[in-house]
Amino acid sequence: MKVIHILNELKFSGAEIMYVSAAKEFAKMGCELTVVNTGANLGEYAVQFEKAGYEVLHWPYNPKNISDKIAYTKEVIGFLKSNAFDVVHIHTGHLLFLMSFSAWRANCKIVYTFHNVYPTRWFSYPLHLSLRWIIKNILGCKYHTISDSVYEHEKRLYLNNTHKINNWYNSATFYPAADFEKTTIRKQLGISEDALVVISIGGCSHIKRHSDIISAMPVIREKYPNTLYLHLGEGSTLQEEQGQAKDLGLKEHIRFEGNQTDVRKYLIASDIYVMPSKFEGISLTTIEAMVCEIPAVLYDVPGLRDFNKTVTCAKIIPEDYQELASAIIELHENISEQQLLVTNGKVFVDREFNMAINAKKIVELYLE
């Protein structure tokens, strides 16, 4: 079965990481994999797709007029037909109609994944609602959602019933620390054994709100002066965040580590994982932290509150940096709460976000 994935720029982010990590699972089930980057830049993660066995194509989409859109669509249809693709799996919303129409004309099966709970405005809502109906009922697209929050968002806001298949993590890459491993890694990273280490992982943007963690740091340091914030990720607000840290005199207490290939090493070195996003689809890095048995503090927002839907797996708090600082201090001082979150979180993510099981469900969706 020939499957082509349509994404934007291939970045070091959730969907890309998941589909690279599951490449062997898809191959075992007979999938021949291609990925298309429709962004202006190929993206730093393209090489990881190639290493995983994907054919990587770059089709930048930047039409100047309707003629350009028509020409682009014709090229896509021709390519899909000539290469006899079976499934077109779309991950980028701004090309949903174009790619669905192209796949329909090429007689391919169509799957679109909703990766987040993006808000809509009153004046664009009718368009979004009607396009969903047309693409699903006329072009035959199957809609896939990645979590309870995204599933419920689509159903409530757009009356759109979807196939919920959870995201997954790579158990070969993320797993709990061995005896003395935390001490060893801290020595490698030059982190003192008695430091309180807080970590966040993810692209820098106003949606991620890393600024709240930085604002919380002086409050935390009033009680625990030897606190270190490991900041993993890059993005549009990185310089803004670095400037905020400098203004607050936190140069020695925040390490801006950028994108890292060995994320687990930094998780194992940490005491508490933090995610203060405005909203998420479901946070892959939170899943990875729970697998590594790092207790989590999360804001009470869609895609993060999912982790406590059936059992308490994280400390979920109001969206406020002072609440965040208090929660980090309280969790650091409460060993029994840490153990509860670690135990529940590991069981929960192992059950709900299993790569082999959920990748198989994706292939079953292709075959429907």
pLDDT at 34: 98
Tokens of 337: 């709460």
- For the chain, the first-to-last Cα distance in angstroms comes to 13
pLDDT tens figures, 148-195: 999 999 999 999 999 999 999 999 999 999 999 999 999 999 999 999
Residue 7 banded pLDDT, cuts 50, 70, 90: very high
pLDDT at 317: 98
Residue 41 banded pLDDT, cuts 50, 70, 90: very high
Domain 2-168+354-367 has CATH 3.40.50.2000: yes
Which CATH number is associated with domain 181-352? 3.40.50.2000
Domain map (residue ranges) of the chain: 2-168+354-367, 181-352
The answer to whether residues 40 and 126 touch, using CB atoms and an 8 Å cutoff, is: no
Q: Is the pLDDT of residue 118 over 90?
A: no
Does 2-168+354-367 match 181-352 in CATH topology? Answer: yes
Residue 12 banded pLDDT, cuts 50, 70, 90: confident
Q: Is the pLDDT of residue 13 over 90?
A: no
pLDDT tens figures, 303-329: 999 999 999 999 999 999 999 999 999
pLDDT at 120: 86
Residue 253 amino acid letter: H
Residue 14 banded pLDDT, cuts 50, 70, 90: confident
pLDDT above 70 covers what percent of the chain?
Answer: 100
Q: What DSSP string describes 66-107?
A: HHHHHHHHHHHHHHHHHTT-SEEEE--GGGHHHHHHHHHHTT
* pTM to 2 decimal places: 0.93
DSSP-H helix ranges across 260-354: 263-268, 284-291, 321-333, 335-352
Tokens of 60: 């930048």
